[in-house]
Structure 1
Amino acid sequence: MKTQFDIEKVIEKGVITNELDYERALISDRKLRLLAKENIHFKNLRVKLRDIIEKYENSEWSDVDEIDDYKLIENDKAEQIAELERLFLENRKQTIRKKLKEFELTQENLGSILGHKSKTHMSELMNGIKPFTLKDLVIINRLLKIEIGQLIPLFLSKEDQTKIKEAVIKLGKPKIKLTSSDLVVC
């Protein structure tokens, strides 16, 4: 399940291919705007990301006659999902910071514990620029006593929910159902 946008992977590909990644890129651009003031690495990432965003906008949104209701609905849904992800990442960051403060640790200390030597890399992880590894999140869970549900997104998009329901029906397993905690309103 892809629940976090990885800027460097998009930059490596050089292209945005769907509305959800477009909305994620716009959110990442706003994050990078703030971080770029303090670090040239983030400034360079932002320049590259903005070029890719512009290419996508020119190919998908520049011809007004090509924009129909379906395109607008698709964009609205993508925007909602990206915003839910942004809120989740912001809450996770604040929760980790609060716990670090409780234990009198710095973000740099946490980076050392996780085996990340670069301050920049740790900043990218905390700010949602790069995704934490599952191992990182398990260590944070155990070390800082943070509920795993606050570290790992437990929601599913409507598209994923539909695919799962169709697969269950196809298998003929009516006892298997998604719980309400698996749902997201999008």
Structure 2
Amino acid sequence: MAQNKKVAELGEPNIKKILDAGRIETELDHERVLLADRHLMLQEEVQPDLGPTRKSISDLIVEFEARCWSDENLVTDAQMEESEAAEIQAEKEYAFLWKRQKLILDKLQELSLKQKDLALLLNHSKSYTSELLNGIRPFSTNDLKLIHLLFQIPLTDLIITIPSQETLNRLETAIGKISSSNPKARLLHTTLANRPVTNGLLTENWDEDEIEPEENIDELTLSNK
């Protein structure tokens, strides 16, 4: 049964690491893998080589759900709460990833570059680069620096910089203490209020369809093989 754990800060899902481990251990990774599976289902038609990866992901999902969710009598309220929090976090992460993917693919198309060209620029194999673009592997910091340098995509659109609610609460308290003796520090409250997590990676009335890649991403991925 899944244990009740605090949801971590938004980060780069590492589906490859989960696949290598051969087992899903947390509700957060379960939600991340579910979203990765949905994405690969869409991409598999134009990238058949993703089939084996998707099959492995599906097997992990089945095993985890059989282990942790098959007996309703053993599912606790804490487990339900953890699952709900993990679902929200994973959706926010993937909303960011799909936006980033589109920005990169748009730049490749704009410059008439193919996926193999990006692989050469990043010094990766074509298959490794495909895993990066499809959210199976996380981009390294160096990869994102190079993409920023070459394609002039803002770093804030390439790197997740949104901390956890726990961290935000701590910052609010710290700013309050500093502001008591330094009025100028109150400007930090404004900065914090305008942070991306407030404005939302998802629209106010978002639904599940909004976290899927836009339709033209399939075409872009195909054209950049």
Q: Which TM class, normalised by the smaller chain length?
A: 0.7 to 0.9
**Are 1:135 and 2:177 an aligned pair?**
no
In terms of Rg, which structure is larger?
2
**Are 1:62 and 2:70 an aligned pair?**
yes
- The 4+ residue runs of structure 1 with deviation greater than 6 A are none
Match of 1:151 in 2: 158
Alpha carbons of structure 1 residues 182 and 98: separation in structure 2 relative to 1, 3 Å: closer
Match of 1:39 in 2: 48
Q: Which of 1 and 2 has higher RCO (CA within 8 Å, sep 6+)? A: 2
Can you give the 5+ residue segments of structure 2 that lack an aligned partner in the other structure? 1-8, 179-184, 201-225
Match of 1:126 in 2: 133
Q: Hey, what's the Cα distance between the residues in 1 that align with 2:43 and 2:17? A: 19
- Aligned match for 2:18, one of 10, 15, 19: 10
> 1:96 deviation in Å?
1.1
Contact 2:36 2:136 in 1 (8 A): yes
Q: Hey, what's the Cα distance between the residues in 2 that align with 1:33 and 1:159? A: 34
> 1:4 deviation in Å?
2.0
Aligned-residue Cα RMSD (Å) equals 2.8
Contact 1:157 1:183 in 2 (8 A): no
What is the percentage of aligned positions where both structures have the same residue?
32
> 1:46 deviation in Å?
2.0
> 1:76 deviation in Å?
1.3
Secondary structure in 2 matching 1:85? helix
- Aligned match for 1:102, one of 110, 122, 128: 110
Q: Hey, what's the Cα distance between the residues in 2 that align with 1:20 and 1:9? A: 14
Q: Deviations over 1:9-67 (max 9, x none)?
A: 11221221111100001111122223444334x22222222222122111211111122
Contact 1:124 1:130 in 2 (8 A): yes
Match of 2:209 in 1: none
Q: Hey, what's the Cα distance between the residues in 2 that align with 1:56 and 1:117? A: 31
Equivalent position amino acid for 2:103 in 1: T
Secondary structure in 2 matching 1:47? helix
Can you give the 5+ residue segments of structure 1 that lack an aligned partner in the other structure? none
Q: Deviations over 1:47-100 (max 9, x none)?
A: 222222122111211111122332222211111111111111110011112222
Match of 1:73 in 2: 81
Q: Hey, what's the Cα distance between the residues in 2 that align with 1:55 and 1:101? A: 39
> 1:152 deviation in Å?
0.5
> 1:136 deviation in Å?
0.7
Equivalent position amino acid for 1:121 in 2: Y
Q: Hey, what's the Cα distance between the residues in 2 that align with 1:64 and 1:7? A: 27
> 1:160 deviation in Å?
5.0
> 1:182 deviation in Å?
6.8
